[in-house]
Amino acid sequence: MRWLVAFSSGALGALAMPPFGLWPILFLTLPVAVWLIDTSMRGTAPIARKATRTALCGWWFGFGYFVAGLWWLGSAFLVDADEFLWALPLGVVGLPMVLGLFTALGFGLSGLIWRNDCWRILLFAAALSVTEWLRATVLTGFPWNAWGMAYGQGEALAQIASLGGLHWLTLLVLFIHAAPATLADKGSTAQRFVMPTVAMVMLALITGFGVWRIPADPSPTQPGIHLRIMQPNIDEAERGEPAFRANVIARYAAISGQKGANGETLADVTHLIWPESAFPFLIDHTPAALEDIAQLLPTNTVLITGAARAELPLPGEQRYRYFNAIRAYDSNGASLATYDKVHLVPFGEYLPLDNLLRKLGIRQFVNSPGGFEAGTAREAMTVPGLPPISPLICYEAIFPDEAILKQPPSISEEPAMRAGLLLNLTNDAWFGITPGPYQHLAQSRLRAIEQGLPMVRAANTGISAVIDPFGRYVTAPLSLGVSGIIDASLPQPLDDTFYVSVNNRIGAGLYWLSILCFVMIGFLMPRQSEKRG
């Protein structure tokens, strides 16, 4: 019965994530998590056995949360169903089973340091948030639907991320929403209400800070920049069809050349932006495509687009090396700038244990020979007419620290380049009309708030948007599953946020300081004599 309660509570907690956004539901589900640990820690069994029981409850809780929150990943296995349908259970059930191990670790760690009073809430929040941090970093990391996104998907509640980032937000969410568990304790009124009271004060302060931080007026814009984002809404299965390959640029040109909401034409645009993986071929190896781009672009208009590229084999190698890239081209079709994706998607863009899995007939989803190579450095992309760009291709936008430009060690004596905008090109067509693209958008918006930078986002099937440094849409975003354009000016960046400043100086910040405080208070506060119910 305990496993069913854990699974159901975890699954219900997924409703706190986009597109539902029912974050108050965590006031029900996270106290259940605390009570599950309470019941697992009862009895006279050795502490290790109790912690193991607790970890098992945590696995069921996490498994329910990730199955309910990530079921949409199964859509990717249906794009090439003839080849990948067999693996669908691995994505829909197998991945949540693995991710549940991190939740199990958080519960188990909580059990090892558990105590019989209200201060256990601090220990629970610290332990589970640390294992969430591990989920974001271990084996390339996967911080999708971190608990902090319960607040991070909005505007007012998300502003606190400008101080401490996503992981700090996760710690705060876990504490605030688990605190009501002590209302069911036995003991004095003070002991039962101290944690919920502190939690409500914290929530009020977070809300107040957000309301105070967001200005009443729209963000000022940078003069001389007129952006146009083109969203083509191409079904992933369509990319393999010869007709699409032959007409892709003509199709993009027709959408890109539409009149804007205020009558803008392509001649008014300084920067035209197309999404990730725009072409089903190597554009630099296709002169006719570059000629078509040159004919499309007015003089002084720059195209920024996702486009795979290839490099000649290195000495001793037999094959080309392929990169998932962002490219910039001028009105003559000449290349101006390139960024190669650094953080690739395992099994999507490359195969771990490549040689072994290929012998078994398994390949990555993106069908490039041998998979993509990772870029060597995360550096600013310099495009004429724009401030320095922090480029983020698809899944890179879910990693908080990867949006921060850091100077390479070889030139570390020089001041780090300050980005002026975040550019996220993505192709969410793999996931259809499901919660996945909404969750991806929310995480991208949070990067803008953390960094104090505008975010320009071009997505193949949606959701495309221009977002200011406070996470507000500059103009209405393009909805999921439609084609069209967005015309917008570029908002001005803010100065470095506290989160960025501290991260650049010491590589850590409020998150780890708060973890230390939670653990110290949890251990050092005198134990209360009253027992829990």
* 236 included as an active-site residue: no
Tens of pLDDT along 62-112? 999 999 999 999 888 877 777 778 778 888 999 999 999 999 999 999 999
- Identify which of 492, 485, 501 has the alpha carbon closest to the alpha carbon of residue 469: 492
Does the pLDDT value for residue 405 go beyond 80? Answer: no
Going by pLDDT thresholds of 50, 70 and 90, the confidence category of residue 410 is: very low
For residues 331 and 293, what is the distance between their CA atoms, to the nearest angstrom? Answer: 7
Residue 409: the pLDDT is 47
Q: How far is CA 7 from CA 96, 98, 179, 435, 496, in A?
A: 12, 15, 20, 20, 41
Percent of the chain with pLDDT over 90: 70
* 394 included as an active-site residue: yes
Task: Please give the average per-residue pLDDT across 158-167, as a whole number.
Answer: 96
Residue 411: the pLDDT is 45
Considering the candidates 276, 373, 396, 402, report the single residue annotated as catalytic.
276
Q: How far is CA 399 from CA 173, 319, 354, in A?
A: 18, 31, 24
Domains of the chain: 2-215+508-524 (no CATH), 227-312+320-491 (3.60.110.10)
Q: Which of 296-305, 402-411, 431-440 has the lowest mean pLDDT?
A: 402-411
* 341 included as an active-site residue: yes
Task: Please give the average per-residue pLDDT across 218-234, as a whole number.
Answer: 96
Considering the candidates 349, 394, 396, 402, report the single residue annotated as catalytic.
394
Considering the candidates 341, 373, 396, 402, report the single residue annotated as catalytic.
341
Q: How far is CA 329 from CA 7, 298, 307, 466, in A?
A: 51, 12, 11, 21
Residue 15: the pLDDT is 98
pTM above 0.85, yes or no: yes
Does the pLDDT value for residue 415 go beyond 70? Answer: no
Residue 91: the pLDDT is 86
